[in-house]
Amino acid sequence: MMVYKFAIDEVNTKLNILREEFQAIHDYNPIEHISSRVKSPESIFKKVQRKNCELSLASIKENIHDIAGIRITCSFISDIYKVSEMIKSQIDISVIECKDYIKNPKPNGYQSLHLIIMIPVFMSDRVEHTYVEVQIRTIAMDFWASLEHKIYYKYNKVIPERLTRELKEAALSAMELDRKMERLHEEVNVIKSTEENREQQRNLQIHGKIAEMVGLLN
């Protein structure tokens, strides 16, 4: 279990470096929030039973890929793919699997981008190559998924049909909200870029006039 905690620490360190670098270069932070967890032994045991795996440490390590989990929350859908590409570009990270539930939502409306990655954890006497599941989603997606999860377990995993239908409608509303906010974000960026270009042009004109006046004085 300690190795999985260290794997989370490794990924969190990388994410914090990427977040600070992105902020410094682009004056913008694509990551709103990062949370992590290591599955409890009880949860691992239940998943082993569901997957019908052999109950051994070697089998669990090879077949259960979400013991260590990290969730990244972003403001916009485009940020999800930016963060995903930044993770994939790390030379010591291997991407084992990528599931895009944003382009292809689950039947219940769930949306998120899931990566299964493998990262080396350097122990005192060995290197442990460890699986980590990374979920990347927007604030709206995370809000919906958190509430759906609570309802799912409140009804002992058997949700009444009416609630299932309303949850699906809520997921569609969250999707529309994300798309609307993305459009507004892009529009603001265009306005900002236009204003910056105008400011640069004004500064060039001012510098040109100053240079002209200095030339006349000389």
Annotated catalytic residue 133? yes
Sort 107 into a burial class: Cβ within 10 Å, 0-12 / 13-18 / 19+.
exposed
d(CA 49, CA 179): 39
Among 20, 97, 133, 166, the active-site one is 133
Closest CA to 108 of 73, 75, 145: 145
With a CB cutoff of 8 Å and minimum separation 6, the contacts of 42 are: none
Nearest partner of 10 among 98, 70, 100, 80, judged by Cα = 70
| Residue keyed to tokens 């509303």 | 173
Produce one character per residue of 45-81: b if its CB has 16 or more CB atoms within 10 Å, e if not: eebbeeeeeeeeeeebbeebbbbbbbbbbbbbbebbb
In terms of residues, how long is the chain?
218
What secondary structure does DSSP assign to 14-30, as a single string?
HHHHHHHHHHHHHS--S
List, by residue number, the catalytic residues: 133
